[in-house]
Amino acid sequence: MAPFRDIKVEEFLDGNELVVRAELPGVDPDRDIDVSVDNGVLTISAERRESSREKVDRGFHSEFRYGSFVRQVRLPAGTSPEVVSATYKDGVLEIRMPKPSPEAVSRRIQIQRG
């Protein structure tokens, strides 16, 4: 199982949505993953708590793996975090939100005499 330091994150546009995917194998999304958007930054926090125990000739062998991870992704200007959805399937967290709106176009303002 890949440690969190090797997590791959990808960002792309899918139609009218901005999609961010992160590899997070071996975690329980209900308990171990937190996703938030604040000031144009998407933050993914995860913690892995894993243990295994097996019977061997002279008793038991057990291993524990744990670690935490925080990854931040700056969202493009104009991205609206109002409607964000997240799904977790086969070790991949997928976050979708509306694609960025076009940047405001600058224009010259006509001054009127009063």
For each successive 10 residues of the chain (114 residues), what is the average pLDDT? 62 92 88 90 83 73 72 86 89 90 64 69
The reported pTM is 0.70
pLDDT of residue 2: 44
Structure tokens at 80: 């609206």
Sheet holding 41-56, edge to edge: 33-38, 41-56, 59-74
On the CB side of 53, CA atoms within 13 Å amount to 2
Kindly tell me the burial class for residue 95, based on how many C-beta atoms sit within 10 Å of its own C-beta (0-12, 13-18, 19 or more): buried
Identify which of 103, 36, 96, 94 has the alpha carbon closest to the alpha carbon of residue 76: 103
pLDDT at 11: 92
> Domains (ranges, CATH) in the chain?
4-98 (2.60.40.790)
**Per-residue pLDDT at 81:** 78
CB 92 within 8 A of CB 29: no
* The pLDDT of residue 56: 74
Contact 86, 42 (CB under 8 A): no
Token reading at 93: 């967290």
| Residue 106 CB coordination number (10 Å) | 5
pLDDT at 54: 76
